[in-house]
Amino acid sequence: MVSQADRNVTTNEFISNIEDEIEGLDESAEINVIPMSQSGISSEPNTLMLRVSDDNAERLAESEATIIEELEADGSIDSVASSREDMVEEMQIRVDRDAARENGLQPAQIGQALYEASNGVEASTVEANNDYLSINVKYPDTYLDSVSNFETLEIPNAEGEYVPISEVAELEETEMLPLITRNDQEETSELTVTYSSDMSLNEAGTHVEDIVSAADFSEDTHYSVGGDLEMLGDAIPQMLLAIVLGVVFIYLVMVAQFESFRHPFIVIMAMPLSIVGVMAALVLTNSPLSVVSFVGIIMLLGIVVNNSILLVDYTNQQKEKGIPTIEALEISVRHRFRPIIITALTTALGMLPLAMGIGEGGEMIAPMGTVVIGGLVSSTFFTLFVIPIFYSYIDKETRNMHKKYMTPEGEVITQKDIDAEKRKEEQREHMSIDEVNEEEEERNYIDEMQRLIDKMKNNNNRK
């Protein structure tokens, strides 16, 4: 294929366009078209596995045929392949136990004789060139190419008589599976369902289950969706566990940094705020919630808390200076706004090439960049509003701000009014102290100047 920049169709669309033409070149050959980026590391693209099981082989075949017919009739399903299509011819032997007993033979003797006839018997070994060669004696292949020839084989019994196979057993050629798969002790057939390229794996799995559940087949036949969808289902709980562990570790680090168990909760509040942007980004880019997306979410956990750390830490610094919590939060948002925006912008721009899927196979990991950018944008925007609000609920000063008290005069005042009055009194005290200090300094200055003048007068009188 030409360079990705010069293409006007995706890889899957190109495969869909040429697949029928290529596979029709030789009907006797099995031709599959698979993208190089996925070949060897996963199953074929746009496929999922459907397992159909039953303890009755005939009922299983009937149910499987019904399911295949329903799936192939749907427009979103391109093809359905069954593991029972690759049948092999084999010869089955049904021993007549009564006839074998009358002729002095056991079923095991008959089976052993047929095995030796078809596979041969090691008669001897020959040493040649310091090596041992086995001599295997068996019937010629031309003799074993039909059931009628097998029926003429004779087996010696204990009395030395030779009994033809046809007198003690019935031989017939049938088609059998090369490998019989069982699930929960039930014979299982695996259907490979190829769905349209415009569907995600989750959508295809739900769609196939809806079709199969509506199909009319035996209630004793069971089915389950496997393959990539099963692996995705197994991976999601592990990804969720990784996210939970990430949150716990981040909390522990924040506890050590802030030396508090409350302030880390404020920082962690930025994480759920990022989920809004994650889902919005996936919807806008029409990307599925895959394992790659979950990896991006785990990366996002450690990134989005940086903005919260800046706000909370700066607010704590302002409070240590004696500034009230509300004013400290306002100052923090004003002073930290620019660093927060610059930090988020540089991170988002760094992930932009990844989200664009630049390069061969880039579209496979593009959801990771999409998730990080979407979550970073939403968390940055909401952090400037939600984190100060949540901080005010956690902080004791703001939490008690609206407590009401009644004065001896019967007037109702709030804790906020009391704190404001206290700050005014403190300011007045500071102002009065400053005024006294200024007056004292002025008097000292005047006294010093007067002493200098007196000293100069004394010096002149002496002269």
pLDDT at 427 over 70: no
| Encoded amino acid at 22, one letter | I
> For residue 355, what pLDDT is reported?
83
Q: What is the pLDDT of residues 114-143, one digit of tens each?
A: 788 777 788 788 877 778 888 888 877 776
> For residue 8, what pLDDT is reported?
66
Q: What is the pLDDT of residues 303-337, one digit of tens each?
A: 888 888 888 888 888 888 878 888 888 888 889 88
Helix/strand/coil percent split, the chain, to 5: 60, 15, 25
> For residue 37, what pLDDT is reported?
40
Q: What is the pLDDT of residues 9-20, one digit of tens each?
A: 666 667 667 766
Quote the tokens at residue 280: 């919005």
**Which of 5-14, 52-61, 391-400 is least confident?**
5-14
> For residue 24, what pLDDT is reported?
65
| Percent of the chain whose predicted confidence (pLDDT) is above 70 | 75
Both ends of the chain: CA-CA distance in Å? 113
CATH topology of domain 89-176: 3.30.2090
- Cβ atoms within 10 Å of 256's Cβ, excluding its own: 8
Q: Where are the domains of the chain?
A: 1-33, 47-87+180-226, 89-176, 232-399, 412-462
CATH topology of domain 47-87+180-226: Alpha-Beta Plaits (3.30.70)
> For residue 42, what pLDDT is reported?
47
| Mean pLDDT over each residue of the chain, to the nearest integer | 77
Quote the tokens at residue 192: 């490979």
> For residue 428, what pLDDT is reported?
62
Three-state DSSP at 86 gives coil
Strand 404-406 with 131-137, pairing: unpaired
Q: What is the pLDDT of residues 241-259, one digit of tens each?
A: 888 888 899 889 888 888 8
**Which of 39-43, 67-71, 210-214, 429-433 is least confident?**
39-43
Q: Report the pLDDT averaged over residues 171-175.
A: 76
The class of domain 232-399 in CATH terms is: mainly alpha
Q: Report the pLDDT averaged over residues 167-177.
A: 77
Residues 156 and 143: beta-carbon distance below 8 Å: no
State the DSSP H helix or E strand holding residue 317, giving kind and residue range, or none if neither.
helix 291-320
> For residue 146, what pLDDT is reported?
74
